Amino acid sequence: MTDHLIGLLLGAEEDWPQAFEQILRRVGPLSYDGDQHTVSSERLTIEPFNLTDPVRTDLVIDRLAYWYYHPREWLKKASLVNGTYLLNSPFTFQSMEKHSAYCAMLRLGLHVPDTILVPYKNPIDNVRWAYTAAKYNQSFDLDQLADQLGYPLYMKPFDGGGWRGVSRVDDRGDLHRAYDESGEMLMHLQATVDYDHFARALSIGAETMVMDFRPDQPMHNRYAVSHGFLSESAGKQAVAISRIVNAFFRWEFNSAEMLVKGDDVYPIDYANACPDVAVTSLHYYFPWAIKALVKWSVYCVVTGRRGSVDLSTRAYFDIADSDRSYDEKLDAYLDLADAYFETDRYADWCSDHLPHLDEAVHEWVTGPDFDRLLRETVQATYPAHEQDQFMAHFRGLIGLWADDQSSA
């Protein structure tokens, strides 16, 4: 019997960790490669550690280290010294911002909107900045850059997340107001697209869900339950591009945003170290997300999948530099991504070893334990006079998911 332990490194979240723990308990012992395997989880604590300390967890789902350095350094130690599998690896954090993802996607020939990086509005907090700025900073015409991109455009931090510091710029007044308010944030100016749909893709390991996202709505209403809202070609591209950029950077738990016009897909944000998996935002898609996270985590620890920070960029660039068409390049990139995520092996393994999980998740989601979790989350999120309204809202959406699963 081999016992595997998954560690949850958490911030302020309570809903999805409880769901993950509940669903993981329903996995049960698994027979694989001549052995019996059990998989459990624990929430990790923050404390001093010796660089030679053993690490009990086979895999860590990290939701904290992107912004908290102490657990980040523990994760690096766990990976380098102990071989712990990480979702996501802190060695990729320097790339896990908009700028690196834009550059990689442009190099691969994907349709990133025209983007310009502009210098800081205000001096950064460094004693050497004044000298460097006075000697080397070139003056530039912000209005001319915006005219080059065309209005409307967006100003956004190069490393932003959660819509921090993002401004829609409709004219020169908006432009200077947004730049003045950017302070010490390093900003992109990015052209926009007259789009039909704003799509958001959540990728967990070898699985991806593309959702109809409405950023102008309140969070509980942003993910529309809308199947087939993209054309066949755009839907294929949205899934493929999400998985390609994840495989390129070795990200295994990430969300992506794209603007879609007809059959054309324009990536605008493909790097999120802590993608949204809250029940009060994902609602209908929440059971899929937690089930996918459980399946990928169990697959990794039971099959002994090894973590890697080696980026095989040359294989991608060879495709980019070839004379293939855009669609042919996407297919070739996707072959590389499927190889990294072991897509076919993963699907076969889940079919052989987790055939009961769909029914177990459906039973839990339609039972009293999930309803208790939902009520606790709503009570912690919304004022008392709105709680009954939101309970009915989320129960309805989760009930729709359950009905759809029963029909399928």
Average pLDDT over residues 147-163: 86
pLDDT one-digit tens code per residue, 318-335 = 999 999 999 999 999 999
Q: What is the reported pLDDT for 76?
A: 93
- Token pair of 83 as six digits: 């071989």
The pTM assigned to this predicted structure is 0.93
Tell which residue, 227, 256, 262, has the closest CA to residue 242: 256
**Helix, coil or strand: residue 365:** helix
Q: How does strand 264-269 pair with strand 253-261?
A: antiparallel
What is the enclosing helix (H) or strand (E) of 30? strand 30-32
What is each CA distance from 342 to 160, 301, 339, 346, 349, in whole angstroms? 31, 14, 5, 6, 10
Q: What is the reported pLDDT for 312?
A: 86
CA R_g for the chain: 22
Q: How does strand 59-62 pair with strand 2-9?
A: parallel
pLDDT one-digit tens code per residue, 10-49 = 999 999 999 999 999 999 999 999 999 999 999 999 999 9
Q: What is the reported pLDDT for 94?
A: 67
Q: What is the reported pLDDT for 160?
A: 67
Q: What angle do CA 6, 7, 8 make, to 5 degrees?
A: 125
**Rounded Cα gap, residues 272 and 162, in angstroms:** 9
**Rounded Cα gap, residues 59 and 79, in angstroms:** 9
Longest dimension (CA), the chain: 68
Q: How far apart are the first and last CA of the chain?
A: 35
Residue 284 is classified by DSSP as G
pLDDT one-digit tens code per residue, 257-299 = 999 999 999 998 888 878 999 999 999 999 999 999 999 999 9
